[in-house]
Amino acid sequence: MSFPGYNDSVLSLLIFGPLLAAALAMFLRSDNLLRGWTLVSTSALAVFSLPLYWRFDPSTADFQFEVNLPWIPVLKIHYALGIDGISLLLVLLTTLIMPLCVLASWRYINTRVKEFMICLLIMESAMVGVFCALDFILFFVFWEAMLIPMALLIGIWGGPRKVYAALKFFIYTMAGSVFLLVAIIALFIKVGSFSIPEIMGHSQSFSLNFQRWIFLAFFISFAIKVPMFPFHTWLPAAHVEAPTAGSVLLASILLKMGTYGFLRFSLPMTPDATLFFTPYILWLSVAAILYGGLTALAQTDLKKLVAYSSVAHMGFATLGIFALNKAGLEGAVLVMINHGITTGALFIVVGIIYERLHTRELAQTAGMGKHMPVFATFAGVFALSSLAFPGTNSFIGEFLVLAGGFEVSRSLMIFVVPGVVLAAAYMLRMLQKIAYGGTANPDHSRVPDLGLREIVTLAPLLVFVFWIGLHPEPFTRVMHASVQNVIQQTQGRAAPAAPAVAVLP
């Protein structure tokens, strides 16, 4: 795909394309037509986003595919977009997972298909926008704009406690982001610009005290989104009640925004405060890993199990980020991508079970594998991937995070190891039940195996599980420079010898 102007227009098209598709969807009447249209448009956007990868220059940490137009000149707000090696992968993850979400809700969503598809499309534009925005207000607009369609997805098409879950999700996230807004304005008053790269460049001039407050404001907002251990309570509720596509979006994309926020804002903009708070956050991450693992082990609802496993996985991501070294950060980005793939897939798997049995109780699903061999294969691979089995994607990510963590503190890592074992315990327990069960399995002989649509939904994720697991180089290649840059921005000032490096062009 090589048409002129691709580099200038691609990000804008990825943001406004879904909105355009949503506007057109308003005029479609038949449900199947709507499903088809959404599938075609999200797939087209996915294909359209692929050349980003080849055109991306991995040798530099600069933002690429940049757009910078004045939006509200009176307030110095710009329409500024651009991606680096970290956001590139997340943008691609977003565009690629969207068609799968549409496929996963093909049969699951029967009521008000039009509104559902419109919500999905609006979500896509807001999510891509969050990862591309280089203006703080633009970022915040996308960040908040996501709340409404997501709350609607949970609240209208969700399970029995959908209203509770939707409100909880909304209020939690909103409560976090009010502080984010104050921090953004405070930074603007200090620097005189909402431009993210410009604020990063000014971080040297911020006093430690100022940085600490900004860091804390950022932290509340991003920690709720991740969610980190004491802020996680909205997550199980939202995941359990959301429809399959909603859960997938939540797990694969929305949770990443918290960690993306840490990487993009906390580390480069408040480097001294980051170093100051790092020990506490590392311990919180370890707590999340252990807590998530133990709670997941106790769940009998499949969705809750996967939801709590998310808490643990995201604990690995924050652990890697705040290890503040190359292995840790690259591992964290990989964990983010892997979690998007594997947990997204697991939610689709649970959705498939729910469509057939209308329950998510572990006991009711026992022994499904006997009658559904194809399904059991998929579920098995994704479960193994989730527990970071060597050869699958999560292994690479978690291994790098652990390696990074060991560089920082061995005593800390001793506490992480049980978390890894716990992951094996809860995932294998789930897999054992679903695939084999016991002697008194419910009768599943009439349950049909996966159809073509479902195989098509899961297959791409399966490919990525092994691709990243066996040959991660294409994925890590693009992020080296950007990760190095983040480390330099954060650590550059900590070591007295480093400033010389920091000023190198």
Q: Tell me if residue 317 falls in helix, strand or coil.
A: helix
Query: Cα angle vertex 485, ends 482, 486, to 5°?
Result: 90
Minimum gap (Å) between residue 109 Cβ and another protein: 15
Which residue stretch of 41-49, 135-143, 198-206, 276-284 sits at the interface with another protein (rule: CB under 8 A)? Answer: 135-143
Residue 408 and residue 431: Cα distance in Å, rounded? 34
Minimum gap (Å) between residue 247 Cβ and another protein: 18
Contact with another protein (CB under 8 A): which of 123, 137, 296, 306? 137
Minimum gap (Å) between residue 35 Cβ and another protein: 20
Q: Verify binding: residue 208, another protein, rule CB under 8 A.
A: no
Q: Considering beta carbons, is residue 162 or 264 the nearer one to another protein?
A: 162
Q: Verify binding: residue 192, another protein, rule CB under 8 A.
A: yes
Q: Which of 159, 150, 163 is nearest to 119 (CA)?
A: 150
Q: Which of 314, 350, 332 is nearest to 263 (CA)?
A: 332
Check if the beta carbon of residue 126 is closer than 8 Å to that of residue 145.
Answer: yes
Q: Verify binding: residue 487, another protein, rule CB under 8 A.
A: no
Q: Verify binding: residue 144, another protein, rule CB under 8 A.
A: yes
Minimum gap (Å) between residue 167 Cβ and another protein: 5
Q: Considering beta carbons, is residue 71 or 399 the nearer one to another protein?
A: 71
Q: Considering beta carbons, is residue 245 or 267 the nearer one to another protein?
A: 245
Minimum gap (Å) between residue 435 Cβ and another protein: 37
Check if the beta carbon of residue 153 is closer than 8 Å to that of residue 122.
Answer: no
Contact with another protein (CB under 8 A): which of 13, 141, 374, 481? 141
Q: Considering beta carbons, is residue 44 or 145 the nearer one to another protein?
A: 145
Q: Verify binding: residue 23, another protein, rule CB under 8 A.
A: no
Which residue stretch of 43-51, 139-147, 219-227, 337-345 sits at the interface with another protein (rule: CB under 8 A)? Answer: 139-147
Minimum gap (Å) between residue 119 Cβ and another protein: 11
Contact with another protein (CB under 8 A): which of 22, 147, 341, 396? 147
Half-sphere exposure of 81 (CA within 13 A, CB side): 22
443 φ/ψ sector (left φ>0, alpha ψ -120 to 50, else beta): beta
Q: Considering beta carbons, is residue 70 or 230 the nearer one to another protein?
A: 70
Q: Which of 98, 78, 182, 214 is nearest to 139 (CA)?
A: 78
Residue that has been written with the tokens 């940085």 in this structure: 211
Q: Considering beta carbons, is residue 63 or 194 the nearer one to another protein?
A: 194
Residue 303 and residue 241: Cα distance in Å, rounded? 9
The amino acid at 279: P
Minimum gap (Å) between residue 434 Cβ and another protein: 32
Q: Considering beta carbons, is residue 56 or 172 the nearer one to another protein?
A: 172
Q: Considering beta carbons, is residue 104 or 137 the nearer one to another protein?
A: 137
Minimum gap (Å) between residue 106 Cβ and another protein: 23
* 213, two tokens: 């407050």
CB atoms within 10 A of CB 217: 23
Q: Considering beta carbons, is residue 141 or 447 the nearer one to another protein?
A: 141
Burial class (CB in 10 A: 0-12, 13-18, 19+), 138: buried
Contacts of 51 (CB under 8 A, 6+ apart): 1, 2, 6, 10
Q: How many residues sit close enough to another protein to count as binding (CB under 8 A)?
A: 35
Minimum gap (Å) between residue 73 Cβ and another protein: 6
- Residue window 149-188: x/- pattern of binding to another protein, with contact defined by CB under 8 A: --xx--xx-----xx--xx--xx--xx--xx-xx--xx-x
Residue 184 and residue 172: Cα distance in Å, rounded? 19
Q: Considering beta carbons, is residue 144 or 449 the nearer one to another protein?
A: 144
Contacts of 478 (CB under 8 A, 6+ apart): 53, 56, 58, 85, 88, 89
Minimum gap (Å) between residue 181 Cβ and another protein: 6
CB atoms within 10 A of CB 483: 24
Minimum gap (Å) between residue 158 Cβ and another protein: 9
Burial class (CB in 10 A: 0-12, 13-18, 19+), 355: middle
Q: Considering beta carbons, is residue 50 or 72 the nearer one to another protein?
A: 72
CB atoms within 10 A of CB 38: 30
Q: Considering beta carbons, is residue 221 or 392 the nearer one to another protein?
A: 221
Q: Tell me if residue 2 falls in helix, strand or coil.
A: coil
Element (H, E) at 65: strand 64-72
Contacts to another protein from residues 68-87, by CB under 8 A: 70-76
* 375, two tokens: 């399904």
**Diameter of the chain measured on Cα atoms:** 71
Contacts to another protein from residues 32-71, by CB under 8 A: 70-71
Q: Which residues bind another protein (CB under 8 A)?
A: 70-76, 137, 140-141, 144-145, 147-148, 151-152, 155-156, 162-163, 166-167, 170-171, 174-175, 178-179, 181-182, 185-186, 188-189, 192
